[in-house]
Structure 1
């Protein structure tokens, strides 16, 4: 592990190390409410839409009271559409509003509203795919952020995070990346790498500062 890589990793955490959950106002911990909110955020981020728009839409849903699967399922379709629109999530708002309602009903029915039960029931990588609106990208987003809570998935750096690693000259190996930061900082490093993958200017700033 080179001093240069260590410097780049520290700079990534300093400049881009806010997790997407934190940006959306989620106080992430291994509890039903925050895990469900992370699921909603992963759903929104997995669409072909700007990440800041997805984060704003998640905040709007939560501010409108839809912070747990029971309240999401009880909210009518139009209320979900309106909240998504308030966050600027208009391109996919009608379909997403339907999917969010169906997903909430499944989480309530299968897991009693608690995704920790999903973790105990089987492989979350597979079971997450059974939730409406959660495809491979949604699974990656959820587990990138949840790896600090569910350590059996750490280190979790998906393809997008590894693209970011390449952009700033870090190794494209999850194990090598994990060796650059403390275990509790893995979600922050993953988020930072995704940001530099998405934004070339952010990658240039990291390289210049490191």
Structure 2
């Protein structure tokens, strides 16, 4: 039997259930390059700019061939600035170019370019925040997006996602939200709820459509 929650989940996934990684063109898999690309996206999303600009700038970096820690670290500062500019990321481009280079160097030095070595650590969120440019926000986004690949990190529904859940009348505890979808859809549901929280009209549209 279909419940009200089922209808709401189906509609919010249909209308807003695209992860930020997917929007940036990242085919997220548990391999070094996509995980590093997700880290780059999280670094860009951490700045006080529109998410659409962060996503476009991540795409521009990847299109420029900066798709893993080695290529990011090996690029010149100006190459990174130019790619960020292509994506419209101009306000913080110089500082961010430096952060991207330092972040790539740390991932290479500490993890051999492979963020899977973080998996299973006692406090993955804290370790992520040791990467230059990744603070609490970037760390939360990374774990939210990777939770289907790293199920030991699930469920990840942060405050913004729970705010979105409350807006459309879904349960607001991470454990209850986790039970509403298969594991593979947890990142999509979390991203959809964040979008509902950020857009005052989205929740209304979802509720009406459901």
- Alignment TM class, shorter chain as reference: over 0.9
Alpha-carbon distance between aligned partners in 2 of 1:31 and 1:146, rounded to the nearest angstrom = 12
1:31 and 2:50 matched: no
Once the two structures are superposed, residues 97-143 of structure 1 have per-residue CA deviations (whole angstroms, 9 ceiling, x without a partner) of: 10000000000000100001122555311110110000000010000
Structure 1 unmatched runs, 5+: none
- 1:43-102 deviation per Cα after TM superposition (whole angstroms, max 9, x unaligned): 111111111111000000000010001000111111111111110111111111100000
Distance 2:120 2:13 in 1: 32
Could you state the TM-score of these two structures normalised by the residue count of structure 2?
0.97
Distance 1:52 1:34 in 2: 19
Distance 1:179 1:161 in 2: 15
2:195 matched to 1:195? yes
Q: How many residues align?
A: 210
Q: Does residue 86 of structure 1 match 2:86?
A: yes
Q: Structure 1 CA distance, aligned partners of 2:27 and 2:91?
A: 28
Match of 2:119, SS?
Answer: helix
Provide the aligned C-alpha RMSD in A: 1.4
TM value normalised by structure 1: 0.97
Structure 1 equivalent of residue 182 of structure 2: 182
Where does the alignment leave 5 or more consecutive residues of structure 2 unmatched? none
Mean Cα displacement is larger for which, 30-39 or 42-51? 42-51
2:137 is the alignment partner of 1:137? yes
